[in-house]
Structure formats: C-alpha cells, structure tokens
Amino acid sequence: MTLHLDLLRHGETELGGGLRGSLDDALTAKGWEQMRAAVAEQGPWDRLISSPLQRCARFAEELGARLNLPVSLEKGLQELHFGAWEGRSAAALMDTDAEALGRFWADPYSFTPPEGEPVSDFSHRVFAAVSRLHQAYAGERVLLICHGGVMKLLLAHARGLPREQLLNVEVGHGGLFSLQVVAGGVVKEVG
C-alpha cells in the first residue's frame, strides 16, 4: 500500500538564516504566515507528523487543533546536526572555513562539518523514520512538517539525483511537496 506524504518545510525563524540544524528557534510572524499560506486549500490529511523542534511542532499543534487531526512527533525527522557550524551562515563560513564549506557543498556525503552528523547517518535516520511511517500509516495521506535538509534528502532520492547533488534541491520556507512512499521505502514525487 502507498503512503501519501505531503512535506511542509517550516517557515522563517527568529534567529534568521544560516545552518539552523539542532538549534530550536521559534518561528517569526512571517514564518507562521508562510506555513499557514502553504496549507490553505490543501489536504485533507489523516494525521500530522512533525519534527519535535518547535519551528515545526508548534505549527503542527496549531494545525492539528484547527483541523481536529492527531499530531505525532518523530525525532528521526529532525534536521541534520551541523556541529560547530550550527547557527552560522554560509557567508560567515566563507570567511573562516571556505575550503571545508566548499567540500561539504561539493559532496555532503564525503565531508562532515566539524563535530557534525555525517550525512550518511542523517540519511539512514530519515529513511528509517519514513519506513516506520509507511508501516504505520500506509493507505493514509499524512502531512509531514519538517526541515529543509530532510526534504532535500527525500526529494533528491525521489528525483533520482546523484548524492553529490543533494544540496542543489531547492526548498524554500513554507515549501510544500508531495511524495508517495511504497513498499520497500521507494519514494516517488507527485505533481
């Protein structure tokens, strides 16, 4: 059976751009608006699944209450942990760590930010979470509220992109994409 998975990226956060990773920033008023606008005229969903970080979970709670839908938090869908790079912008890293940043952008699987989570571990974590969702909710339509890195990973896989192109996938704040997950964890983009 197929799991219909709509992916919603969180909106703008209070501490701004850069590599947010495990940092638990709140949404700005604009971030709330981005997410509300993304889901207007969408659905219906059977349930909401969210990263536990507040930039995702607070919106999931609000939307779940408004739509009278169950909300579950899934730790496996948290953003990549960027280690020493957390909270820093690419521009700032270009000033202090340009060579390492270039290696990460060229192939995020072959270079891990200092003290960060290897992308291969992140990938295993995210796909294990998606597999659990498929086993639990196949046949349903689920809204997954998560992060840019999670969405880039899933979309790159669905599009058949080489792993080096993971970071080329564009996912803006409040971006909404649809996937189908079938047996064996095969992910296909819809639309």
**What pLDDT tens digit does each residue of the chain (191 aa) get?**
999 999 999 999 998 778 899 999 999 999 999 999 999 999 999 999 999 999 999 999 999 999 999 999 999 999 999 999 999 998 999 999 999 999 999 999 999 999 999 999 999 999 999 999 999 999 999 999 999 999 999 999 999 999 989 999 999 999 999 999 998 777 898 87
Instruction: Give the span between the Cα atoms of 179 and 155, in whole angstroms.
Output: 8
Please report where in the chains the tokens 């971030």 appear, as a residue: 31
Domain that holds residue 73: 3-81+118-190
Instruction: Give the span between the Cα atoms of 165 and 174, in whole angstroms.
Output: 22
> What is the number of domains present in the chain?
1
Q: What is the pTM of this model?
A: 0.95
Please give the order of strands across the beta sheet that includes 71-73.
71-73, 47-50, 141-146, 3-9, 176-182, 186-190
- Which pLDDT does position 191 carry in this prediction? 75
Residue 113 inside a domain? The answer is no
Residue 112 inside a domain? The answer is no
Instruction: Give the span between the Cα atoms of 49 and 103, in whole angstroms.
Output: 33
Residue 99 inside a domain? The answer is no
- Find all residues with CB under 8 Å of 68, minimum gap 6, and list them: none
Residue 132 inside a domain? The answer is yes
- What CATH number does residue 8 fall under? 3.40.50.1240
Strand partners, 130: none
Residue 96 inside a domain? The answer is no
Residue 127 inside a domain? The answer is yes
